[in-house]
Chain A
Amino acid sequence: MKGNKIAITGIGETAFLRKGEETVMQMMTRASLAAIADAGLTPADIDGHVSNKYVGHPSEEVAHAIGAATRRFTAVADTAGGTATTGDALRLAQLAIEAGLARHVLVPYAIRSTKPGGVYGFHAREPQKAGLEMPAGFFGQPTYFATMANRYAHEFGMTEEELASVSMTYRAWAALTPSAQKRDPMDLETYRQTPMIATPLRVADCCLTTDGGGAYVVSAVEAARDLPHPVISVQGVGIGYNNYPHGVLFTQKPCTFDYPGWDSAAQAYAMAGVDPKDLNLAQVYDGFSISAIVQTEMLGLCDRGEGARFYAAGHAKPGGRMPINTSGGHMSGGYVPGINLLIEAVRQLRGQEGDRQVPDARLCAVAGLGGNNHSTTILARD
């Protein structure tokens, strides 16, 4: 698969709310129609669909909801979290477009974090967790990632101030982002005032609870040149996998924080023919501060074990040499897994961001984590 063949031609989002009233289908439809309009297209132009196996609504429902007459290509991203929305879906869209099976592929996503059972309900249904972990009180992603953070600190060293700098960095970007959920300034003292969940992770170290949706349209680069926006092309996509099922991933993997991001980044940079030093900015899947630290290392933005100190040095803040999560990420902007990070990357590369615009942004990496899978995507402005 080669880079510079497809482009993201349309993007759309709903409002990101702590608790919304709309269903997942309503939010996906709203975001999809916004993305299609943004691309200068109509629903009748959408002939390809990539759906997400965790959303629970296949493409036939979305196609009907947006008023598309027919479908020529459909696929389901067989990965989770950010991998599905920011890597896998793009790869499937490129396969379809290059094969001539579709011209404009819609990728929609929405989440109701406030649904009954909460965001951890799927873990409770995993037999190993229900049988061997929950009775020991080991349950919920903040708890899992807290054990990763303690192991990481043991291996590489990490102070409270360094950990906190991740949250503070993303909050500084959110303060410049009108649509972000959490915009109040955060310093070390306000960080410390947020409740501890599982040491060392506080509420401020965790992604937000969000009801919201996002969508984008993928088209061939040649077709994108006839559409309204600057061409934002996909230069590289890499996906790494390991074969640890989610039921054992957070305990039995030799290094529990060694996500398959080294592999995905190597693939993406090779496909794009660029190096980390060529990037102007990055979007990193920040389910938790610790996972953002590790993925920042995996993208090659700093050395292994230096991620927390990279943030503490201010490199990722507004005005820093490598801006990261420029709309506040999942921890301050909104948690619509991966897709709002990809959409923010497109906006930055279009040069539309006003106060938070990264000057001359031309190349952006997007890292997506999905448990036992990980994606790296490199986007570029023509």
Chain B
Amino acid sequence: MGIPIYPVHLEDPLFQGFYDGLDAGELRITADAETGEWVWYPPEVVPGRPDAVLEWRPVSAEGKAYSFTTVIRSLLPGDHKAEVPYTVILFEPDDAPGVRIAGILVDDDGVEPACDMRLHFRPVEAGDHRIAGFAPVRR
């Protein structure tokens, strides 16, 4: 399986904390600093609370796949033929119901991707940055 290589555009500082987390080996998402509620994806305005402040907090590295797809033809701008196939996972952390984080399936050893499969987080090198990888949990 390949790894998608696409530059992280962080002109918008809203997302810097996610990549800082990956560099630190953590999966971090945004939470309301006052209430502690997860707010994901980080919006420009927290609904109903324009004064709310968000902060990046680690979220469970264990969770499951809401869904997946194995990309055969990348639709990313540019030429990405050498990077396919790879399997995108929409990951739901155990301690953040309803939150989904896009990443790729890694260390699958031929395990077929499936909805609700148990996964654990592992950062993956993707060019000059890291992306979220998710490996099947083996019991």
Contacts and interface: CB of A to CB of B under 8 A. Distances in A.
B68 A147 contact: yes
B62 interface: no
Interface string A228-254: 000000000000000001011001101
Given A135-B7, A147-B90, A148-B67, A252 B40 contact: yes
A339 B6 CA distance: 35
B136 to A, nearest CB: 16
A146 B18 contact: no
Interface string A143-166: 100111011001000000000000
A132 B15 contact: yes
B72 interface: yes
A139 interface: yes
A252 B104 CA distance: 17
A199 B72 CA distance: 8
A127 interface: yes
Contacts of A148: 67
A67 interface: no
B114 A147 contact: no
Interface stretch (A27-35, A87-95, A190-198): A190-198
Contacts of B41: 128, 132, 247-248, 251-252
A136 B88 contact: yes
B93 to A, nearest CB: 13
B14 A151 contact: no
B72 to A, nearest CB: 4
A197 B9 CA distance: 25
B15 A139 contact: no
Interface of B: 4, 6-10, 12, 14-15, 18, 40-41, 43, 66-77, 80, 83, 86, 88, 90, 98-104, 114-116, 126, 129, 131-132
The 3 closest A-B pairs by CB, nearest first: A137-B4, A140-B75, A131-B15
Interface of A: 120, 124, 127-128, 130-140, 142-143, 146-148, 150-151, 154, 195-201, 245, 247-248, 251-252, 254, 256
